[in-house]
Amino acid sequence: MSPGRTRRTHQDVFTRAGPEAVTYDVSVRDEATIWVPAGSAWTSGAHWHDSHTEFLRVLSGRARVTLSGRTFCVGPEGGVVTVPRGAVHEWRREEGEEREREEEEGSGQVGSKDLVVREWTEPKDGAKEMFFRNLNGIILDASTTSGKGAGEALVMLELWNLFWRADNYPVTLGTGWVGRLATRAAMGVAAVLGWVLGRTGVYEEYSSK
């Protein structure tokens, strides 16, 4: 095992605390169920996938989804949201809608304050599980160290290598061709540096059992 990495091969649920609190459940292959508690500022971040079509289904609460420049609110009654390949998208809690719904239904209901979303992709090739296992492993292990500066830079290098390997392209300088080119350029640099420094973003310590 490499220094600084916690073996998580038997871990299926990952919880991160703080202002962007979130819990990921990757116990089902090729799927992820994500819990975002009330008050959390967590967001998926604006990104796109080159080779995967993604599907979102809200199981509880309400999500604010931005897809190809259009923003809308969706709840359990909204069915499956399809994210085509190449479409820039982002989702997070819809706090206003959730607050109104709780006032109408009563805030004492179990789980009524959590946004719960299930994600999966086509093709089903294990990329979703690989991405979330390594994402959480890297972030959780980094949170237990006090390193700043160079340490934070190495974490970002690992994350960008992971994004590249998992077909997850973050928006950097906008959603047009210039912004997409900038993202790809950043990933290219990260891939080279990661290879040189041995920071690939994907580690056996975080792989599934």
Contact (Cβ atoms closer than 8 angstroms) between residue 56 and residue 119? yes
Residue 8 within a domain: no
pTM over 0.85: yes
Domain with 181, as residue range(s), is 128-206
Q: Does one domain contain both 141 and 158?
A: yes
Domain boundary among 87, 122, 157: 122
pLDDT tens digits, one per residue of 78-109: 999 999 999 999 999 997 644 545 455 554 44
Per-residue model confidence as pLDDT tens digits over 134-170? 999 999 999 876 555 567 899 999 999 999 999 999 9
Q: How do residues 4-37 score in pLDDT, each as one tens digit?
A: 799 999 999 999 999 999 999 999 989 999 999 9
Do 102 and 133 sit in the same domain of this protein? Answer: no
> For the domain that residue 86 is a member of, what is the CATH number?
2.60.120.10
Tell me: do 150 and 112 sit in the same domain.
no
Check the CA dihedral 67-70-76-78 and report its sign: negative
- List, in order, residues 6 or more apart from 195 with CB less than 8 Å away: none
